[in-house]
């Protein structure tokens, strides 16, 4: 799964990277501990143009009566996303890109303590997760929400976890966004071996209140 990630990409860089028009309500500043229900950056295709916008990380199906009406859906499994009632329309019609600098995963030691790892691109480039999104509205409250698509880990990632986000290369973005026709399902696989690297970080990141660049420093 993917339960926390890091975002330190400047707005201007994302606008250029994705050739997207930015919204006015984007999250400000670096976030070294992006948590579920936070606002995140996402790129979607609408009205013939890419748009960089803000979304709540935590997908809300249209039948939820309130944001806490059911399970917090931060991830969607690639193997079942086309079948699950919550996700099947979104994966056909509402796919997005979710940029990140890196993400966290956890292992456990012999005493059961959770040990965090920071994962990022070996080449230092931004990561772009495959996402799906959903507009939710109830009693005057409106939210644009998203989930990250995950898949079985490749050999590299399986050393620390059995799942990983679907990470899209730039040449795959048009297909995922629906700009290049059909066939997005073929992209929902683990990335190539060697494209990611990871290191242990301090357990301070276990708290969702933790902030600051020291969270990704190796220990």
What are the pLDDT digits (tens) for 66-91? Answer: 999 999 999 999 999 999 999 999 99
Distances (CA, A) of 8 to 51, 65, 101, 142, 153: 19, 34, 6, 27, 24
Q: What's the average model confidence in pLDDT over 12-21?
A: 98
* Contacts for 140 with CB less than 8 Å, ≥ 6 apart: none
Whether the predicted model's global pTM rises above the 0.85 cut: yes
| Catalytic residue status for 2 | yes
Report which of 178, 181, 215, 183 is spatially closest to residue 200, judged by C-alpha positions: 215
Report the mean per-residue pLDDT for the chain: 96
CB 90 within 8 A of CB 133: yes
Longest dimension (CA), the chain: 53
pLDDT at residue 192, rounded to an integer:
87
| Catalytic residue status for 105 | yes
pLDDT beyond 80 at 1 = no
pLDDT band at 49 (very low <50, low <70, confident <90, very high): very high
Taken in order 169, 196, 40, 28, the sign of the CA dihedral is negative
Span 202-211, pLDDT tens digits: 999 999 999 9
Out of 12, 47, 105, 214, pick the active-site residue: 105
Domains of the chain (ranges plus CATH)?
5-102+124-193 (3.90.1680.10)
Q: What's the average model confidence in pLDDT over 29-57?
A: 97
pLDDT beyond 90 at 140 = no
pLDDT beyond 90 at 2 = no
Distances (CA, A) of 121 to 11, 16, 102, 167: 20, 20, 7, 10
Percentage of the chain lying above the pLDDT 70 cut = 100
Residue 210: HSE in the Cβ half-sphere, 13 Å Cα cutoff: 18
């Amino acid at each position: 799964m993917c339960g926390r990630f890091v975002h330190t990409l400047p707005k201007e860089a994302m606008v250029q990277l994705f050739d997207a028009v930015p919204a006015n309500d984007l999250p400000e500043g670096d976030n070294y501990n992006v948590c579920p229900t936070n606002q995140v950056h996402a790129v979607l295709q609408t009205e013939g143009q890419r748009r960089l916008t803000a979304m709540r990380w935590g997908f809300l199906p249209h039948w939820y009566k309130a944001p806490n009406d059911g399970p917090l859906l931060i991830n969607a499994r690639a193997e079942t996303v086309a079948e699950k009632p919550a996700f099947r329309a979104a994966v056909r019609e509402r796919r997005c890109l979710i940029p990140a600098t890196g993400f966290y995963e956890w292992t456990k030691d012999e005493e059961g303590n959770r040990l965090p790892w920071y994962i990022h691109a070996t080449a230092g480039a931004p990561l772009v997760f495959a996402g799906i999104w959903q507009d939710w509205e109830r009693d005057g409250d409106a939210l644009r929400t998203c989930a990250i698509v995950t898949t079985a880990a490749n050999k590299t990632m399986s050393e620390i976890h059995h799942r990983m986000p679907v990470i899209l290369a730039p040449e795959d973005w048009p297909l995922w966004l629906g700009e290049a026709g059909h066939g997005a399902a073929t992209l929902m696989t683990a990335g190539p071996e060697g494209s990611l690297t990871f290191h242990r970080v301090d357990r301070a990141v276990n708290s969702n209140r933790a902030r600051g660049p020291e969270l990704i420093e190796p220990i």
